[in-house]
Amino acid sequence: MDRPYIAGLDLTGRRVVVVGGGTIAQRRLPALLDVGARIELIAPAVTPAIEGMAGADEIVWVQRRYEPGDLAGAWYAMAVTDDPTVNAAVAQEAEEQRVFCVRADRAAGGSASTPASGEWHGLRIAVASESVGPGSAHGADPLRAAVVRDSLLEWLRSGAGDRILAERKQDTRAQKTQNPKLPGVALVGGGPGDPDLITVRGRRLLGQADVVVVDRLGPRSLLPELSPDVELIDATKLPRGRSMSQEAINAALVEHALAGKFVVRLKGGDPYVFGRGSEELEACLDAGVPVQVVPGLSSAISVPGLAGIPLTHRGVAHEAVIVSGHLPPDNPDSLIDWTALAKLHGTIVVLMGVANLPAIARTLVEHGRDPLTGVAVIQDGSMPAERVTVSDLAGIGEVAERENIRPPAIIVIGDVVGRRPKEPGNG
């Protein structure tokens, strides 16, 4: 595949088979999910983030090794294991089945390639390069494509137009030699999930990272934009499932920073709103590592807003309280005074509370909150799969179970739920 033909595939609702469950697959899946592909991933083991996607029914995970015949009926395939023999077998079957296939370990061995891509105001930018042989003066193809893609997106997002384009020809050549390497760690809040909602500063620092430590709630659609030489560390914490311990995350930040690399800790929402950002900052400071904090849009505020629910409203709510629901109200380790919360007239926003929602609703009613108080549960807020379920305190437990609500979801309790604009199909 010396000269790829660039085309846009409509994979919406179509079966795509991904063989392999490591970090390469983790980088490639978000783009497939964004276009609505029906993904079947085949691997005996996967990263925690991919396990989270399977648990949220975003993909189907077939927990075994690849077998001949797995590509039957597929429209597109990816061979992304760390075993060249398996990748070769997948590519061979794809050739026989006339299914376009990307082979991650040997681009020339597949019938398709994944370009370096990004998005700007609904415009999808893709850069693909011709294959180059050993000893080529141009260097590695994926890196060259990523550099061009990054430069183009930076120019487009700057808004400076032709002036930036003219100046960049000289600036790009001197950038790495003139600008000192960024030190230490940046704790970057990525916002609720939509890649357009990360701050300008956060996105800029992400583009300069040597190492990115990311969890499943970060804006995963930005991962395909990372340069191929950026090391990706999966810091996913699955509810009641696989998790990278906070101690291990802290150690990874410090270790790579002390090795002279610029580390971006990409987190969902804001680092300091139930994000353990302060723990990570303390670990870096204790080790003598320079650290900076880039605030992000907290999902507690942004997700209800995007769903049309104000947290405060004149004559309706003059207060809004954000609490964690990861522990049930009767848990002795809980630091929340649910009795006091029940007496409030304003809005209660609960994060990480899906599993304990029935107990939370029951406790609030038992301590005086009106059972007819509105409740909205916003699942996958800001993302294409966003779903809003509305009920009241008396019925939300049953409704949540019937609707199979799963995390991540933001729970809004209060009369402000009734201020949500009524739209066709929105009751």
What count of Cα atoms within 13 Å lies in the side-chain half-sphere of residue 137?
0
pLDDT computed for residue 133 by the predictor: 42
Distances (CA, A) of 157 to 105, 119, 123, 204, 214: 32, 10, 12, 10, 23
Q: How far apart are CA 22 and CA 24, in angstroms?
A: 6
- The CATH class for the domain spanning 15-114 reads alpha beta
Whether 229 sits among the annotated catalytic residues: the reply is no
Give buried/exposed letters for 323-360 (b at 16+ CB in 10 A, else e): bebbbbbeeeebebebeebbebebbbbbbbbbbbbebb
pLDDT computed for residue 136 by the predictor: 40
Q: Which of 141, 210, 215, 234 is catalytic?
A: 215
Question: What are the residue boundaries of the structural domains of the chain, listed by start?
Answer: 15-114, 183-297, 300-419
What single letter denotes the amino acid at residue 4?
P
pLDDT computed for residue 180 by the predictor: 63
What count of Cα atoms within 13 Å lies in the side-chain half-sphere of residue 127?
19
Whether 34 sits among the annotated catalytic residues: the reply is no
End-to-end CA distance of the chain: 52
What single letter denotes the amino acid at residue 49?
A
* Backbone region of residue 139 per phi and psi (left: phi > 0; alpha: psi in -120 to 50; beta: other values): left
Which of 153, 183, 198, 154 has its CA nearest to residue 294? 198
Q: How far apart are CA 247 and CA 290, in angstroms?
A: 18
What is residue 403's DSSP assignment? T
Tens of each residue's pLDDT in the chain, 427 residues: 566 777 888 999 999 999 999 999 999 999 899 889 999 999 999 999 999 999 999 999 999 999 999 999 999 999 999 999 999 999 999 999 999 999 988 766 788 888 888 777 667 788 877 654 444 444 346 778 888 888 888 877 776 444 544 554 455 444 444 556 788 999 999 999 999 999 999 999 998 999 999 988 889 889 888 888 899 999 987 766 677 899 999 999 999 999 999 999 999 999 999 999 999 999 999 999 999 999 999 999 999 999 999 999 999 999 999 999 999 999 999 999 999 999 999 999 999 999 999 999 999 999 999 999 999 999 999 998 899 999 999 999 999 999 999 999 999 999 999 999 876 444 4
What is residue 26's DSSP assignment? H
The second-level CATH assignment, the architecture, of 183-297 is 3-Layer(aba) Sandwich (3.40)
Angle between helix axes 246-258 and 277-286 (nearest 10 degrees) is 40
Q: Which of 237, 261, 270, 380 is catalytic?
A: 237
300-419: CATH topology is 3.30.950
Distance, CA of 94 to chain centre? 29
Please name the residues in contact with 413: beta carbons below 8 A apart, sequence gap of 6 or more.
347, 348, 349, 350, 361, 364, 369, 373, 374, 375, 393
Element (H or E) spanning 110, and its range? none
Q: How far apart are CA 317 and CA 345, in angstroms?
A: 7
